[in-house]
Structure 1
């Protein structure tokens, strides 16, 4: 039996966004309590408030991780933990969220909910398939390139290595490109291109 491997995601800056929102809520609550005891008017009171916010963030980030074992992948966040058996996973796909800042998410795609092989799909159509559990979130897809030397890149490559070790080769670092262990990326793109050409040729002339 292979050892369980846990990859903590604190080097991925994008993974800090949601914990920072919780930090802000915790800090506001602490300010209210501080005000109730009459300490907010003192400059020295700022220091323990900031220390408290940092501690809240550190504790949260400890629980931002992905755990791999022989039977499942477990996605761990401070607010939830989800264990998904490998037998349920069909492949992987990136999506993007165009908020400010833009983030890129690596999704698990479940069996029975994967894009059909050999069919050309537009990006809006492919978006329906990029809704599974998020393994990790990045600010730059370049960090998912093999051999990336940045801290985020080394962390992302750990994730990719473990996914590949459990039979799931990583998708190319491009959004909405589905990657399945059943087909190579070239086979998928070739079949999709053939379907696009066939459908174009079948369209009636105006």
Structure 2
């Protein structure tokens, strides 16, 4: 006969497996953006809480009391045993302490964090730091654009002639640095330098 410890360990393993399924669902949602909702596995941490809340809200007295509170119950207004459990992705991310991405950069960073996590209990310090660096990039670009607008010689071509160097260490900044290094290597390669020859630039010379 299973001991209490065995039952607890089995429940924990079941919850971790279900949380892993939910991480995959959120990752796919962020990558594709095809749907605004995600299916919540029954045995996940969130799934267990949802079932508990819905059973509680099925009691008339508790529901009447909850309706007087400034709480939105729309997402929980289903039968206790309704299946499958489904919630907006934003609410699921917020439940586990993740922000919902506001732009493509944040979507990329949060997707990477989910892809690298084995469970929702993994530390999120690195994610917070990555999001902070992205915000730093946005502020830096906004400041530079504002400086261009304040310039008396501003024109629509000013931004095209201005080099924005990101140094926050974010994935945006890293991608920019890698791109700059690759471009530098290309422009120093013998095939590229050979283009300096006049014949190599004349139309029809290489027939």
- Bin of the TM-score, shorter chain as denominator length: under 0.3
* TM-score, reference length from structure 2: 0.26
The structure, 1 or 2, with the larger RCO (C-alpha pairs under 8 Å, 6+ apart) is 1
